[in-house]
Chain A
Amino acid sequence: MKKQLQITVNGELRQALVEPYYSLLDTLRDEMQLTGTKKGCDEGDCGACTVLLNGKPVCSCLVLAHAAHDAEVITIEGVANGQELHPVQKAFVEHGGLQCGYCTPGIILSTVGFLESGEEPSEENIKHALGGNLCRCTGYTKVIESVLVAVKATNQESEE
């Protein structure tokens, strides 16, 4: 039976009436019209559905919607600051870090989560942080390049 649930999505308190078996992914897409988060496998294997749940990257297909009750969620629609792209988004745009774009929302959220984790942003660590995000188009080279550019941009920003 459907139950009421509330989640703060991209800074906005959202309510929905969803079945107990509904995933966070299906709730975002079907109930909240946030279709930027993609379903690639629904099994936690591809990472396309990655969102930030209380600041940490998770596969939203593996999180039951009601388990995210009262949580804070950031989806791809909430990464930019209004019209101003996040440095990660900007780097992917400018350095060819995307092709078909289907894995892109998940990769961007994984990257944002990683950069906010405070872990050393070495190439090795970046590759591991994106180890759960499949991309079939780019071969990862330009994805990693884009993240390295974003790291640099973020560092400069924090120095300023």
Chain B
Amino acid sequence: MAELSAIGKNSIRVDAMDKVTGRATYAGDVYLPGMLMCKIMTSTRSHAKIVSIDTTAAQALPGVRCVITGSDYPDVRFGSGALKDRRIMAREEVFYIGEPVAAVAADDEITALEAIGLIEIKYEDIKHVVDPLQAISGKSVDVHTDLEDFEGFGFALGGNNCTMLDSDRGDVEQGFKDSDVIIEETYHTQPISQGFLEPMACVADVEANGRLDIYASTQGPYQVRSQLASVLEMSIGNIKVTAMEMGGGFGAKLRLALEGFPAMLAIKTGKPVKLVNTREEAFTLNGPRLETNIYLKTGVTNDGNILAREARSVFDVGAYLGAGPNAGVGHGLGAYSIPNFKLRSYGVYTNKLYVGSYRASGVADMNFATESHTDVIAHKLGIDPMEFRIKNALSEGDTAVNGSTIPVNGLMETILAVKERMGLPKKMEEGRGVGIAVGEWRSGSGPSTASISVNEDGTVSLLTGSVDISGSDTSLAQIAAESLGLRLEQVVVAKRNTDMAPFTGPSGGSRIVYSQGRAVQNAAEDTKAKLLDLAADWLGVQADALECAGGSVYVQDNPPQSLDLGQLARMSLTSRGGPIIGIASLSSLPYAPVFNAQAAEVIVDRETGQVRVTRFVQAQDIGKAINPMGVEGQLEGGAVQGIGRALSEEILIDKETGQIRNPSLATYLMPLSVDMPDIENILVEVPSADGPFGARAVAESPGFGPPAAIANAIFDAVGVRIKTLPLSAERVLAAIQGRDADEYTVDSEALRAAESV
């Protein structure tokens, strides 16, 4: 391959100037003439029948334009995935504290808020359940008694178990019989927030012809469009969604969030309606991650071969099924070759805010469990944890848990890179320790499209439907520039909406650079072929004698014989083929795994239990770094989210009512600049077969390893094993002092028995 000119170079983000000058426009920055403000009223009951809602006083308040309740919406359910279990607004029943029950549009926000206070709701309480382990035991009330009637209901145990996923291979019982050592453990992870800085915001307007015009803070404008169409029973063609600049989503903004409220109010009033969440609402109205309880049983030989794994992972999904349980089977093995396994994952309803997506939902939870467990096994066998991992690591040609054959990858390179950089194995002084964790992900796929048109001055305009959540617009522009032999600044990335840009999947699962990037590369190739054809006509040579580089198309054997892209674009206007536009469309790309290894050094204060991360090293196989500066930014940001998950972040949920007790940034503790160690990144580049220029996914993986790496480092430092997140000072201190820590037990016997009924 010729030397690359745009790919692999640190590139300034295409949106950087707008963002440092305050010009970038987020959904909350949209102000339309005559705009009303919306506020939402939510349930104060954990589970109750709605006996009556009286909105008379609210409607009579001067400045109030409209009040809506659940009965203003069509009687339809929708869902985050296949299971349609949720209503946009409660109708006869509420299922958790915080569920929307009414909304108001008023001339200003304070009037809307006052109106909310005037709405009177009478409830009749129903029994409820908060603890997912109790909810799945069959001994509690059912959250949804009509579960089996929900559209999309599939395989599950019933009761509160709304989904059960499985994956089996080999003979797991025989594997345990053949093992020398069997280790059984349960790990517990905490409810956690995505922590985006920009609270959800949306402006809805109705055009004169009745079309809905939505300005949203979203990662998935086409998903918002289709879900909105279904809850409003409107045609998709009558909805336009503009994804504004987005102030962080991390999965929270993948689907329809709160757009349905201002949308309905705009339809009813004929005026633009704006909704901006408060920070409290950012915690209580949008699905966070909820707790998981992960049972692992592993059989190994004395010389360190893993023979069998049973995993039963219980995901609390709250009142409605969101993302997550998939990880219980997809990530039940870790990055290891295990010949016999039985993996089960359970989604369990409870009466609390429904679960949302967050940076590879559930994988960080699974990784904490499996990578802590890996360390426990290694120590039990007296084998160095790094060597144990190397011995069992997946390699090319093995079968992945999803049944795919593992293609060429950089797993071993990442492990060895971290081993070398950290100087492992090493014994640190008392109170200090080092721990490692290995992670696996797959480059995200799904529908991807792109079009490129050549402008009369030789610049090109790139149009894709994807939302930039990670610097992907810059990478996509680099891919287009590289493919067409242009400089980055010659590629214009269009601001777009769902009317203008072709359909694409949401920006999630680290799919944009891998899949959308491939579409951009294909569109650029299509553009280039058309440029060459046109130039061939004019230059009187065969197209295959031409090259496209440096802003021109030229004859390879005689470079002075050339036409620049601007000339070709102008000529194309009157050519047979018409103006030059290249397009590409694809639905999926093959499996391209992403492996990473992470290591943390910690100091543990024996007096207080306080854990401080003093050094963090990570290596990831990113295939090819399109924009190394952007890749590093993703790796650093992901790792710090993982460190927050490991040490301090936790949504506190009232055990009696299911209510969120700490909905503020003063009580939900995200890492600050003062808390963070320097993070060292090692970019391993083993090209994928299908990603653009060999690129693989980047952004999900760095958040996986910190909890297990830090837990393993704590064990190395002070000899205590914490199996519950976060690894808070009080928890670590209790373990050091030998006091009983909080114990969680998944009743694996009962789950096995339920399955065989």
Name A residues whose Cβ lies closer than 8 Å to a Cβ of B: 29-30, 33-43, 45-46, 48, 75-77, 79-80, 85, 89, 92-96, 98-105, 108, 126-128, 130-131, 133-144
Contact = CB atoms under 8 A, between A and B. Distances in A.
A98 B633 CA distance: 9
Contact of A77 (B21, B196, B679): B21
Nearest to B18: A101
Contacts of A34: 22
Given A35-B25, A127-B674, A99 B20 contact: no
B3 interface: no
Contact of B246 (A48, A94, A100): A100
B735 to A, nearest CB: 28
A48 to B, nearest CB: 6
Interface in B358-377: none
A45 B666 contact: yes
B658 interface: no
B672 A131 contact: yes
B95 to A, nearest CB: 28
Interface string B654-679: 00000000001110001111101011
Contact of B676 (A95, A137, A140): A140
Interface in B1-25: 10, 12-13, 15-25
Contacts of A138: 633, 636-637, 640
A98 B13 contact: yes
Q: At the interface, is chain B mostly helix, strand, loop or mixed?
A: loop
B666 A139 contact: no
A130 B671 CA distance: 12
The A interface, classified by DSSP as helix, strand, loop or mixed, is loop
Interface stretch (B26-34, B56-64, B576-584): B26-34
Contacts of B15: 101
Residue of A102, A108, A128, A133 with most partner-chain B CB within 10 A: A102
Nearest to A103: B197
A4 B487 CA distance: 52
A79 B21 contact: yes
A39 to B, nearest CB: 7
Contacts of B641: 136, 139
B632 interface: yes
Contacts of B633: 96, 99, 137-139, 142
Contacts of A99: 470-471, 633, 637
A128 B673 CA distance: 7
B279 interface: yes
A42 B282 CA distance: 12
A133 B672 CA distance: 8
Contacts of A128: 674
27 contacts: A33-B31, A41-B664, A43-B665, A45-B279, A48-B197, A75-B22, A76-B22, A79-B20, A85-B21, A89-B21, A93-B12, A93-B13, A95-B629, A96-B629, A99-B471, A100-B196, A103-B197, A104-B20, A105-B22, A131-B674, A136-B197, A138-B640, A140-B673, A141-B632, A141-B679, A142-B636, A143-B673
Given A35-B29, A76-B20, A141-B636, 19 more contacts: A29-B29, A45-B664, A45-B665, A45-B666, A46-B197, A79-B21, A94-B12, A98-B20, A101-B24, A104-B19, A104-B20, A133-B673, A136-B194, A136-B195, A138-B637, A139-B638, A139-B676, A140-B676, A141-B632
A34 B670 CA distance: 28
A35 B25 CA distance: 8
